[in-house]
Amino acid sequence: MDGTERSRFARKAIRVAEAQRLLLARVRPLAAETVPLAASYGRRLAADVAADRPVPHFARSGMDGYAVRHEDAAAASPQQPAALRVVGDVPAGRVWPHPLAPGTAVRIMTGAAVPEGATAVVMLEQTEELERGARVLIKQPPAAGQHIAPVGDEIAAGQRLIASGARIGPGQAALLATFGCAAVCVYSRPRVGIFATGSELLPVEAELAPGRIRNSNGPMLAAQVERAGGVPVWLGILPDDAAEAQARIAAALAHTDLVVTTGGVSVGDYDAMASLFRQGLAQGRAGRGAGLLGGQPQEGSGIGMGSMLSEPADKSDAEPLCATLFNKLALRPGSPTSAAIAGRKLIVGLSGNPGACFVGFELLVRPLLLRMQGAAEPLPRTFRAALTDDFVKGSPHDRYLRAKLELDDGIVRVRPLGFAKSGMMVSIQDADALAVIPAGSRGAAQGELVEVIPLAYGEP
């Protein structure tokens, strides 16, 4: 066995937290861009949003009823109601033009501007109309300020409303609209180049052949990238040829913010990606014959999943060597997961097993995409939940099980999903969490509290 062969097996495993630290230390938020509010849902703000005025900016009625001077009905009771003359009405969106005179009332609707001089609003249920609405009886004494939202009651002028890096959801969209933000400053969406590796892979639309399988990880990763706010760029299937794989990845780095591969990271004789993470990208001039994308698509490119990269305008620049960050993780499934940095771009090599690929993305790639979009806390928040079933299989490394969260009489439990082997994909569609079984020979017992990582998947 020569030195290269020995180095293929001599991998030092690092823990997931260390891998996350190494990766996140090498990314920063992308450039900002301005988009219409209608196109901002799911994007992340690139600047704080503060209130340029108070809300409400006028004294606002909180009830349908009558605007009154509270002292005019201070002695009111059901037995001896106060009688006031009704001088008009104020629907929402209109303003009463005169100060409210003593002994008078104005019919008012919820959300309408309270007339000048009015100090309370009496709800309809505490009144009785007389003379076809010309007079009103007040049956309860109103308190000063009753059912009136004063200026700035909800939001003060200058108050920070949404922090930079926050994801724009329905609530954020409402605030932005309230303050007239028709255009919103957001971080650019990271473009993620996706390669699948393996000569056994077929495009999704191809007929099956003996010994061949359709590329399922590519569409899965594209969906995960989209869900994390990125732009998936499908770059095709890489053959089990190290030189061609490295040339195409080198070309892809010039057009994407991050490159993610699936497959080829193990220690098999034909695992081309393992060679890249072991030796780095070979320096050399990239040309059309080096397998760059553009021109005619190669066999298995899988056109139809996403956009293709165009050839670099200048193919004379030599690609930089890449430095391996790690090539083994202390986790199951997906221990061969690897990462390298080339220039200022990251390459993350995920396992070819569907379950391991799915888990690797959630643990490593999703946080990168969130950080690139300005998220202050890109790592998922975890909690502890009780296992619904025994999981007796031990492991030398922490095991990340696809799982389903359940609410049982107010107690959150986590159920490991069946068919959880890394090569099986059936359970991926139902997973809304990862249950972490600590390393050891015993696994974990039913009812034991384990760490849970919630996922942004699954039906509510």
The reply to whether 383-454 shares the fold of 60-149 is: no
Q: Which CATH architecture has domain 3-29+189-372?
A: 3-Layer(aba) Sandwich (3.40)
pLDDT of residue 4: 46
Q: What is the CATH number of domain 383-454?
A: 2.40.340.10
The full set of domain ranges for the chain reads 3-29+189-372, 35-53+159-187, 60-149, 383-454
Residue 32 CB partners (closer than 8 Å, separation 6+): 46, 47, 185, 186, 187, 188
Which SS3 state, helix, strand or coil, does residue 279 take? Answer: helix
Write the DSSP string, 73-108. Answer: GTT--SSSPEEEEEEEEE-TT----SPPPTTEEEEE
For domain 60-149, is the CATH number 3.30.70.1150?
no
Q: What is the CATH number of domain 35-53+159-187?
A: 3.90.105.10
Grouped pLDDT means (10 residues each) for the chain, 460 residues: 49 92 96 98 97 96 97 95 96 95 97 97 94 92 97 96 96 96 97 91 87 90 96 91 85 95 69 68 36 29 34 40 85 92 91 93 97 94 93 90 91 82 73 93 91 77
pLDDT of residue 323: 85
Cα 330–chain centre separation: 26
pLDDT of residue 380: 87
pLDDT of residue 244: 85
Per the CB < 8 A criterion, the answer to whether 433 and 405 are in contact is: yes
- How far does the chain reach from its first CA to its final CA, in angstroms? 54
Per the CB < 8 A criterion, the answer to whether 262 and 196 are in contact is: yes
pLDDT of residue 273: 75
